[in-house]
Amino acid sequence: GKTNKRGRYSDVWSNFADYGFDAPVGLCRYDAHRPPLRPGLEEIFDCILCDPPYGVRAGGRKSGGRKPKELQKEIPEEKRSTHIPSTAPYTLSECLFDLLKFAAKYLKIDGRIIYWLPTAIDTYRDEDLPTHPCLTLVANSEQLLTRRWGRRLITMKKHRAYDASLPVQMPKLDCPDMKDNNAQGSAPSLREHVMCKQSSEDKEALKRKNKESVPGRALYRGKHC
């Protein structure tokens, strides 16, 4: 927790009290990329409500270092209580891949997952949404942040039992500057994809504007010669 401007101590529990909600039974904190839930555990949550890290102000991180898992040293038992594990970058697309897989497995039937997805207003398409065969899209609500950028509140409902053979379907990228770096088939950073699409459209619009304003004139670094 922390102290606010009025000198009052604030934490997770005080947030529930401020809104008049009953305090939760407990609070679990762990890496969404490596859930520590026991094997065989499924369909335990009624709802999952989250705000994945976009990577704009603070990029997401996950457990893991630069070394492959097989080369990492085992932490001695006496040091595990104070050990701080190494972390690695956690792209939004990889985060959403894990999130939908987690929801498909641990949500109860008819349970819902709700999350924010950053988008470029002019280039957004419904095909950009990640999907899962166990989840059905219920609502897609847009919130405008600026004239170019926005975010969408995505609501999905689980309609069938989890099947490990059914993969998360990530959007296919058409930007030539990006490569798929995930062996599971997910796309690279969706935020980078959104910005790439937007910048490509901006470049094309600038080219058309320059050609229309001064036809037949050569361009050099954005200026007319």
Mean pLDDT of 132-153: 93
**105 band by pLDDT with thresholds 50, 70 and 90:** very high
Range with the poorest average pLDDT among 47-56, 62-71, 150-159: 62-71
Q: What is the pLDDT of residue 208?
A: 62
Q: What is the pLDDT of residue 161?
A: 94
Range with the poorest average pLDDT among 26-40, 101-115, 132-146: 26-40
pLDDT digits (tens, 9 = 90+) for 150-203: 899 999 999 999 999 998 988 764 443 333 333 333 333 455 555 555 555 555
Mean pLDDT of 26-53: 89
pTM of the model: 0.69
Question: What does the buried/exposed string (b/e) look like for 35-71 if buried means 16 or more CB atoms within 10 Å of the residue's CB?
Answer: eeeeeeeeeeeeebeeebebbeeeebebebeeeeeee
Q: Which amino acid is at 178?
A: M
Q: What is the pLDDT of residue 191?
A: 52
Cβ neighbours for 192, distance < 8 A, ≥ 6 positions apart: 91, 178
